[in-house]
Structure 1
Amino acid sequence: MKSQTQALNHALIEFYEKLSAWELKIIKGKGLSLGLIHALEILGAFGSMPMKALADKIGITMGTLTVQIDKMVKANLVTRIPHKTDRRSILVCLTASGKKLFDEHDALHLQLTERLTCSFEAQELQLLTSFLDKINTNFSKEVVD
């Protein structure tokens, strides 16, 4: 018999795999990569930020991010601008095209969330949100440690 932790672990892994497959499916044929989409999601959700902060949020090296941002600049999705108070830092900002792509992608996420939770009662949605918030908080502590 599986323990509750094993069952939860399996459910989390299965959800992650299905969400990743869904993301790959929706970007297929658009010339986009998951790395690009993840950078776009973070910039869209949190706004302009220094390259180092973006690399840390995505969990990649500055070198890997630089290659990704170069591609995004070439595709007119982001711009690099000098930081106003720290001359050593470069801010990455979404362009109008990048914001549009983020909004379209975010709308797809919202539609998926609505489809996946349409049979949930309001209390179940509140509990799920609360549980996920706690998991995310604990995960943030884990990553920092």
Structure 2
Amino acid sequence: MRRSISRNSLEENTLEQIKNEIETSLLAIMLRESKEGEEKQWLIEHCTNEGLVKVIQQMTVLMLHILDVIGECEPINGISISKKFGTPKGTVSKITCKLVQLELIYANYLENNKKEILYCTTSLGKELFQLHRELHKQIDDNFKNFLKKYDKNELETVTNFLKNIAQTSFMK
């Protein structure tokens, strides 16, 4: 009997350690993803246009991703950017104004509707859009190589775990 209590206690201790490692790892992922430095640093290191490097230094990651949506779907209006990116219209409006000021995009007003603005990338914006696409291709390729370390069962377990995390509110 004494042996089974110690074994159960040991298993509970190990399970608690695993749970703590999961929580610590998820927190580390969230903190890393919230930092802007890594993505911008890659862009700066791989950019050959000094003028564009100065522009990148002034940008946030959100600005880069809105530029990406514009480059992918141009011409596109603010409402479509908001829906596609899941960002409030006011945020999109502020960011598109900054992108216009940085000469990465320009605004086209429709003749029959002065409220409707369509955004397109400038040549500088296209250059950054392409560079940002190269970054994401490298990230995708590296992630695919990373996943090769795991077998099908391990990946199914991780997938199930991540889906459950995404669907669960821990505020309740």
**TM-score scaled by length of structure 2:** 0.55
Conserved? CA contact 2:78–2:117, under 8 Å: yes
Task: Give the structure 1 partner of residue 117 of structure 2.
Answer: 90
Q: CA deviation at 1:38?
A: 1.5
Q: CA deviation at 1:23?
A: 2.8
Is 2:63 the counterpart of 1:36?
Answer: yes
Q: Compared with structure 1, are the counterparts of its residues 9 and 87 closer, same or farther at alpha carbon in structure 2 (3 Å cutoff)?
A: farther
Measured in 2, the distance between the counterparts of 1:26 and 1:73 equals: 23
Measured in 2, the distance between the counterparts of 1:40 and 1:102 equals: 7
Measured in 2, the distance between the counterparts of 1:31 and 1:114 equals: 28
Identity %, equivalent residues? 21
For 1:104, what is the secondary structure of its paired residue? helix
Q: CA deviation at 1:105?
A: 1.1
Q: CA deviation at 1:90?
A: 0.7
Aligned length: 130
Q: Letter of the aligned partner of 1:23 in structure 2?
A: E
Measured in 1, the distance between the counterparts of 2:99 and 2:82 equals: 14
For 1:118, what is the secondary structure of its paired residue? helix
Conserved? CA contact 2:109–2:117, under 8 Å: yes
Task: Give the structure 2 partner of residue 59 of structure 1.
Answer: 86
Q: Which structure is larger by alpha-carbon Rg, 1 or 2?
A: 2
Measured in 1, the distance between the counterparts of 2:23 and 2:70 equals: 29
Measured in 2, the distance between the counterparts of 1:100 and 1:116 equals: 24
Measured in 2, the distance between the counterparts of 1:48 and 1:56 equals: 15
Conserved? CA contact 1:73–1:79, under 8 Å: yes
For 2:120, what is the secondary structure of its paired residue? strand
Q: CA deviation at 1:8?
A: 9.2
Is 2:127 the counterpart of 1:111?
Answer: no
Measured in 2, the distance between the counterparts of 1:83 and 1:46 equals: 17
Q: Compared with structure 1, are the counterparts of its residues 94 and 10 closer, same or farther at alpha carbon in structure 2 (3 Å cutoff)?
A: farther
